[in-house]
Amino acid sequence: MHTEVKLFYDIDPNSPNEERNFFIGQAKHAPLPEGTPPPLPHRHPFYEIIFVEKGNGIMRIDFTDRPMQKGSLYLMLPSQIHLPLYTGEFQGFLLRFDISIFADKTFLENLSIFNFDYLLVEEPAYSALEGLLLSLHEEFKSEKALKQCTINNLLKLFLIQVQRLLPNVVNENTQTTIFGSLNTLLESNNYKIQTPAFYAKKLKISLKVLNQAVKEYTSIPCGEYIRSKTVIEAKRLLCYTGMNSNEIAAMLGFEDAAYFSRFFKRETGFTPLVFRKQSL
């Protein structure tokens, strides 16, 4: 028995089964009545940003609980499994887009905001972002001339403003490109266990340069960061699939289930079996 993960394909919930590359809406939720089963964790095949204007609770993103309060900004990649757990009234903006919205595909590559899944936005940035989202929402609902062009420009401006909230070192283009490229490689390699040297060779850079870029972003060594991504994928497979330890070990590049079990316990403190039982 494992927890089901919903995959929601419709970017615009008001236009199901239609191909869209952008959506923005204002969301309001009342707390669930006591005794109501929690919603299922889910993921989307597109980028999703949630900006909280009012809220209490947590947003669970890949097994990490992020606080839900005024100014919480969640930045989720297509691969990330998430689950909102409201303990009070919620109000905010839901912003979704596909990479196809950008004519210049390098625009998103030059941003590092999706290397983070949570920011707490305070004034004056809070009002600036809220204003941009209000403008995006108004434009999205309108039928004005040059609507798509306006949406694209406002979306880019919003993402740039979020980028500027990050630490200065994160805004250095070289580091952004290296760290972003590493994450792309990790995902394309299905988060298999590998050494930093393996990825440095793939990226055609020195191991020293790769380590420096990762440490400036995460404050941890590259090897530890790579292992953390393998652990998250292992947790996903343990919680959300019926795969056994042998199958998971093979998928993640381990020689056998025993090696995978030792690795997982060292990194998490639990054996795969115990973790799976606790997550049910």
Q: Each residue of 242-264: pLDDT tens digit?
A: 899 999 999 999 999 999 999 99
What CATH number is given to the structural domain containing 210?
1.10.10.60
Residue 40, pLDDT score: 81
**E strand segments, the chain:** 6-7, 22-29, 42-43, 47-54, 57-61, 64-68, 72-76, 82-86, 90-97, 118-120
Out of 151, 166, 181, a domain closes at: 166
Assess whether 191 and 240 both reside in one domain: yes
**Residue 103: which residues within 8 A CB-CB, separation 6 or more?**
152
The amino acid that residue 234 corresponds to is A
pLDDT of residue 2: 57
pLDDT at 82 over 80: yes
Which of 166, 198, 216 is the last residue in one of the domains? 166
Q: What is the pLDDT of residues 29-56, one digit of tens each?
A: 887 777 777 778 888 889 999 999 999 9
For residue 36, give its domain range: 6-166
Answer yes or no: do 13 and 147 share one domain: yes
Asked whether residue 74 falls in the same domain as residue 209, the answer is no
Query: Are both 244 and 162 inside the same structural domain?
Result: no
For 194, which DSSP code? -
The model's confidence at residue 68, banded by pLDDT at 50, 70 and 90, is very high
**Among 163, 161, 151, which residue's Cα sits nearest to residue 101?**
151
Q: Is residue 26 one of the residues assigned to a domain?
A: yes
Across the range 153-180, mean pLDDT stands at 82
Q: Would you say residue 173 has pLDDT above 70?
A: no
pLDDT at 279: 77
CA distance 112 to 151: 21
Residues 216-250: pLDDT tens digits? Answer: 888 899 999 999 999 999 999 999 888 999 999 99
The domain boundary residue, chosen from 124, 150, 166: 166
Q: Are residues 89 and 44 in the same domain?
A: yes
- The answer on 125 and 29 residing in a single domain is yes
Structure-model confidence comparison of residues 88 and 175, the more confident one: 88
Neighbours of 1 (CB within 10 A): 6
Going along 62-107, which residue ranges are E strands?
64-68, 72-76, 82-86, 90-97
Confirm whether pTM is higher than 0.75.
yes
> Is pLDDT of 24 > 70?
yes
